Structure 1
Amino acid sequence: MPRSREKPKAERRVLAEQRGHRGETLAAWLLRAKLYRVIAQRFKTPVGEIDLVAEQGRTVVFIEVKWRRRGAPEAEALSAVNRKRIVRAAQYWLSRHPEQADRDLRFDVIFLAPGRWPRHLVNAFTAF
């Protein structure tokens, strides 16, 4: 049988990916408990991925989920957020959902860490 052209993913990368998926699912449940309506999870675009897209009233919220080890400070995690990528991905999402274009937009971050409550940072950054 011929070998696959795709390289197998490193075990460490696979574990990080699994942890990320679990974190996004946990964040989605947190948002639902706060009466948000999650409308997309892991929305992939040519310019990047949006972890969660949700609605709260007339606001469309784009959420980045950051999973960090216990000791990593939130400020460090927030600085690691690639804001330009998320904004470009949000613009792509809006181009695919023009009926949402007249609504208010917001960018949030949810921090997750083992042994800690999730922290939802509302309006973490702006598009401009």
Structure 2
Amino acid sequence: MSREEAERRGRRGESLAAWYLWLCGWRILAKRQRVGAGEVDLVARKGRTVAFIEVKWRSSRAALDQAIDERRLRRVARAAEALVPRFAGPGDDIRIDVILLAPGQWPRRIANAWQPGA
């Protein structure tokens, strides 16, 4: 798959994840937030919870099992740390979520996927 095709699929996955979150009552605050430490695909809020979300799109459900690992989550966590002041206020709960997508499958959401020191 070409880099361009991968980029297009990634954007489509992020759009689908945003719709899914919206249907679940989340408000999308931002998409594709890049900072020196990395990138966060989506930033969403529901009540006092702000989630920094990594979205992974794969060609099959089986491929999703290897889509996310500690190294990727650490990179998202560093980017989220830099973005917290922009999107969260005092008293907000902050977390890192992952949404896994594959054709013909319901989205799989892993809430609070990154817990440093755990």
Quickly name the TM-score band, shorter chain normalised.
Answer: 0.7 to 0.9
Q: Which residue number in structure 1 is paired with residue 46 of structure 2? A: 56
Quick one: which amino acid aligns to residue 112 of structure 2?
N
Larger relative contact order (C-alpha < 8 A, sep ≥ 6)? Answer: 2
1:24 pairs with 2:7: no
Residues 1:15 and 2:35 aligned together: no
Say if 2:95 is the partner of 1:106.
Answer: yes
Instruction: Return the index of the structure with the highest Cα Rg.
Output: 1
Deviations 1:23-75 (A, max 9, x none): 10110000000000110101111111100000011011011001112153433
Distance 1:80 1:91, change over 3 A: closer
Report whether the alignment pairs 1:124 with 2:113.
Answer: yes
Instruction: Report if the CA contact (8 A) 2:64-2:101 is conserved.
Output: no
5+ long unaligned stretches in structure 2: none
Distance of 1:101 and 1:88 partners within structure 2 = 19
Structure 1 unaligned residues grouped into runs of 5+: 1-10
The count of corresponding residues between Structure 1 and Structure 2 is 117
Q: Please, what TM-score do these two structures have when normalized by structure 1?
A: 0.81
Provide runs of 4+ in structure 1 moved above 4 Å: none
User: Which one of 29, 54, 58 corresponds to residue 68 of structure 1?
Assistant: 58
| Sequence identity percentage | 45
Question: C-alpha root-mean-square deviation of aligned residues, in Å?
Answer: 2.0
- Structure 2 length normalisation: TM-score? 0.88
